[in-house]
Structure 1
């Protein structure tokens, strides 16, 4: 019996939600197909009726998550206005983000796996990266209206890369005190650099 199109799309979204959470925690290398299927309660047939391969599942799960991130950032910039950048920095470098790996930024958890992906998949990730950097660049242009477009773009590269790098380094620390020190230092520095006084 065939699954209706709407039901298939709904199931696909559920699979992607569960897959990205699992992948963020275990990485692509530590996520055998059998483990992923068991975690999601799916059979091999059900999984491969939606995805061509494990690499395809990984890529689609990452793109699904990056699309959600892009929408979330757009909403926050619209909703929070001049305070958006500060709030995003505080949230990204929070203790919650440090420990809740499954729900945090895909770039922080999976950038190495993304870098090892096939070129066709990497080009998809880069399109999301370009749009996310552009969102930050527009917000930074509002913060610093005298900057050129290029200066806003450069600041956006440094700000978002700084958020990802700071959280990544904090997560490498086995000592919670050191991890929190990295977060707090990064938070203070980024706010001082990218928010108007």
Structure 2
């Protein structure tokens, strides 16, 4: 019996979600097709009935993950309003983010692999990046309504790059205390630069 369309789409989502976790932990080049299949309990035929190659799987897995990031970001912005930026900065640069690689942003975990992808795939990643910048620009405009759209977008580029760069640097540290110090200084700096001061905390 042929797999129903709904079941096939469900399996495809499961493959994408398992694959991105595996890629984040091992990198694209460090993830052999056989290991990927073993990790997901799939045969080569089952895996490649959905994707043309490992590169194709990598591109779709990253795109799926970034789409989820966009949805979560938009949800936080709509839910938290002016407080959204602080929420996102603190979440992205939390102590837990040091080791929770599987659930971290693909740009933090896989930027080098994404950079080595073919042009068509890099264009997909760039489209996602533009949408994430636009979402952060929306959140920034809630904080700084006097800014022009161009200024908000420029700030969004700087803010998100700061988040990715800070976490990436913290993860390179062997000394956990140094890693936490990088996260803390990054949090404080980005909050001071990209959010408006509220009532001081006790």
For Structure 1 versus Structure 2, the TM-score category normalised by the shorter chain is: over 0.9
Q: Which residue in the other structure is 1:30 paired with?
A: 30
- TM-aligned CA deviation for residue 105 of structure 1: 0.6
Q: Which residue in the other structure is 1:46 paired with?
A: 46
The CA deviation string for residues 81-114 of structure 1, in whole angstroms up to 9 with x for no partner, is 1110001000000011111100111100001101
Whether 1:115 and 2:123 are equivalent positions in the alignment is: no
Whether 1:95 and 2:121 are equivalent positions in the alignment is: no
- TM-aligned CA deviation for residue 142 of structure 1: 1.4
Alpha-carbon contact 2:81-2:142 (below 8 Å) kept: no
Take 1:95 and 1:16, find their aligned partners in 2: how far apart are those partners?
27
Q: Which residue in the other structure is 1:4 paired with?
A: 4
Q: Which residue in the other structure is 2:81 paired with?
A: 81
Query: How is 1:1-197 mapped onto 2 (pairs within 5 angstroms)?
Result: 1-197=1-197
Take 1:42 and 1:158, find their aligned partners in 2: how far apart are those partners?
41
Task: Provide the aligned length of Structure 1 versus Structure 2.
Answer: 197
Take 1:89 and 1:17, find their aligned partners in 2: how far apart are those partners?
24
Take 2:87 and 2:184, find their aligned partners in 1: how far apart are those partners?
14
RMSD: 0.6
| Structure 1 unaligned blocks of 5 or more | none
1:158 is paired with a residue whose SS is: helix
| Structure 2 unaligned blocks of 5 or more | 198-202
- TM-aligned CA deviation for residue 138 of structure 1: 1.2
Q: TM-score with structure 2 length normalisation?
A: 0.96
- TM-aligned CA deviation for residue 149 of structure 1: 1.5
Take 2:170 and 2:122, find their aligned partners in 1: how far apart are those partners?
26
- TM-aligned CA deviation for residue 139 of structure 1: 1.1
Q: TM-score with structure 1 length normalisation?
A: 0.99
Take 1:166 and 1:187, find their aligned partners in 2: how far apart are those partners?
9
- TM-aligned CA deviation for residue 147 of structure 1: 1.3
The CA deviation string for residues 41-99 of structure 1, in whole angstroms up to 9 with x for no partner, is 11100000000000000000000000000000000000011110001000000011111
> 4+ residue runs of structure 1 moved beyond 4 angstroms?
none
1:132 is paired with a residue whose SS is: helix
Take 2:145 and 2:57, find their aligned partners in 1: how far apart are those partners?
42
